[in-house]
Amino acid sequence: MEAEDKSGEQLRGQSSATGMGPSLSQESSAEEGLPPEWNRQRAMTRKVLIAILLFGLLLGSSLLWVYIFRNCGPRSCETPVCLDLLAHYLTSGNTSVAPCNDFFSFACEKTKGTSNSLRALAEENKSRLQRLLEAPGSWHPGFGEEKAFQFYNSCMDTDAIEAAGVGPIREVIEELGGWNISGNWTSLDFNRTLRLLMSQYGYFPFFRAYLQPHPVLPHTPVIQIDQPEFDIPLKQEHEQKIYAQIVREYLSYLNRLGTLLGGDPSKVQQHASLSISITSRLFQFLRPLEHHQTQDKLFHMVTIDQLQEMAPAIDWLSCLQATFTPMSLSPSQPLMVHDLDYLRNMSQLVEELLLSHRDFLQSHMILGLVGTLSPALDSKFQEARRELSQKLRELTERPPMVTQLQVEMGAPQWAWKSDMARQEYSDIQLGPSFLQSVLSCVRSLWARNIRSFLQPFPHHRWRVPPWEANAYYSIPDHVVVFPAGLLQPPFFHPEYPSAVNFGAAGVIMAHELLHIFYQFLLPGGCPACDTNALKEVLLCLERHYAALPLPSRASFNSSHTLLENAADVGGLAIAFQAYSKRLLQYHGETTLPSQGLSPQQLFFRSYAQVMCRELSTQDPQDTHSPPSLRVHGALSNTPAFARHFHCPRGTLLNPSIRCQLW
């Protein structure tokens, strides 16, 4: 018993030494001794603490998920350029329209009419250029661009232009032999006058002559002879009643020109009427392009000597030699003639007029030249031209590889180097009148174009100025050009979300690059290809576009726009693939605030913005589909659009059948 007592004391001593305190049974006994109210308070306190703990855990989890979402998902772009783009989107689209049924209206429709993004961008580029030209200290004496600023200042010196009046244009008329309506007339040789018009003034009243690469030998220039460009639209493109109104407006304009030049109104009326008659006769000789295509005769290769026999009224060697100096031409010089029948008939008409109405033929050329030079004359001539253009617009509105591909962006190479820029302007002589400055520029540009063709390995000649909002692909030079004017808001900006840049500028670039495949799409362009499969896909695409609903009063030919439609569909697909790849490789994508659009949805919204323009301005010769079809045709052939906008099966932009061209 003593041993047991000692053992118990040792255990109790160890328990006290380790600090374990009273046993559980002792604690329970203590709780049982407490009043019942205290036990209930203690249980309530435990429940409250547990509830607070659970609420804290839920709140912390929620905050954690918000943090993860904000850092892993697309951030909202709040920079000034993004907010400007957001404002542009809000004012151009109609988000109340269901995007799966009419995405063009969703992106482009305004309360009145339809927005025109490309035109707005072109106007903004012109405004930027104007601000640059008018900024004090923008240029320094001796630099190549000095003449550009001087030319602009000469153009803006309206007081000097008004003071000169008709003096400068009368000097030009005198150089051409005069005009018996407003002064003395020396009956010069017809071909001498034509030679001066072509070589000194860049005016081609009866035909066009220009240099282009040879169709078979791309780096060999060949002189091409084509139909002339007329001030008034072709007769076959308009109803008889409308065309009669067009003729009346143009006749009124010619009468106004003759009167401004000091001519007797009764004589001016007679000569203007006969000038219209000459233009009408020339119209009758024209053949539409489809006529040549059906006969498989898009052009004829003839020598100058052969053309002289076919169209003898024109001294071809003399006129072409003066126009294309410093080229050395001979009677055996090959020419590419686009419409041989037109030239034959034109020559016969000129011969008739030389025998009976030589003075009327002179009037026809003088009136045409004055109309062309009107922008360089005083306000009376400019206003007459503007009014004619406005009235014609109102009347004519229609209802709506072998070598390595080169890419040129921004501006031509010479524009980046001051020495080359200075050389570009070296032969331009400014003054004494603004008209003489304009004529000097015309001659300089023409001579520069000829010299570039004569280089052993000519570089690509840009068709547009750097500020133009228009990309293009040159088949002969195998060059794609993206001017700086196109890479501007709302189509591109370094601070934009990538979805905007890929959807707008990216699609435009891919569209132009796809033009290199035109040779494969055309008959005989790809002998090794499965042409049957290719024809089936192209036929599918043609039927697909033909079945899309058109806006009221609009019309188009799906076969005429087939290649551009294919480039739209392919360009959109390639740009979206590139954008999707970028999302996998780079993080930190942004989107526009307050739009509720995912990055992918913003990509398609940006694409549609490029196509926004007025539906009533469709050019009948335009090889592109109407703008709404360019949006719906490409998007309805893009499964990703229907997926990201959750379009139900069977809606316009989620059809059951698609054409897989690219």
List residues with catalytic annotation.
Answer: 512, 568
Q: Which among 454, 428, 486 is positioned nearest to 220, based on CA atoms?
A: 454
Instruction: Mention every residue, 6+ apart, whose C-beta is less than 8 A from residue 11.
Output: none
Q: Look up residue 648 and give its DSSP letter.
A: P
> Residue 2 carries which side chain, given as an amino acid letter?
E
> Looking at the DSSP assignment, which residues form a beta bridge with residue 213?
221
Over the Cα atoms of the chain, what is R_g?
37
Long-range residue pairs from 286-294, CB within 8 A, at least 24 positions apart, any chain: 286/227, 286/234, 286/339, 286/342, 287/339, 287/341, 287/342, 288/236, 292/338, 292/339
Q: Which residues contact 516 (CB under 8 A, 6 or more apart)?
A: 401, 405, 473, 478, 480
Per-residue three-class SS string for 142-157: CCCCHHHHHHHHHHHC
Task: Tell how strand 406-410 and strand 479-483 pair up.
Answer: parallel
Q: What span, in angstroms and rounded, lies between the C-alpha atoms of 497 and 640?
A: 19
Encoded amino acid at 516, one letter: I
589 in Cβ contact with 583 (< 8 Å): yes
The dihedral region occupied by 596, where left means phi > 0, alpha psi between -120 and 50, and beta the remainder, is left
Question: CA 182, CA 165: separation in Å to the nearest integer?
Answer: 15
* 461 φψ region: left (φ > 0), alpha (ψ -120 to 50), beta (else): beta
Tokens matching residue 321: 């030699």
Beta bridge partners of 482: 409
Angle between helices 627-636 and 599-611 (to 10 degrees): 150
Q: Rounded to the nearest 10 degrees, how much is the dihedral formed by the CA atoms of 430, 434, 438, 443?
A: -50
Contact 521/538 with Cβ under 8 angstroms?
Answer: yes
Which residue from 573, 507, 569 is spatially nearest to 537, judged by alpha carbons? 569
- Residue 450 half-sphere exposure toward CB, CA atoms < 13 A: 20
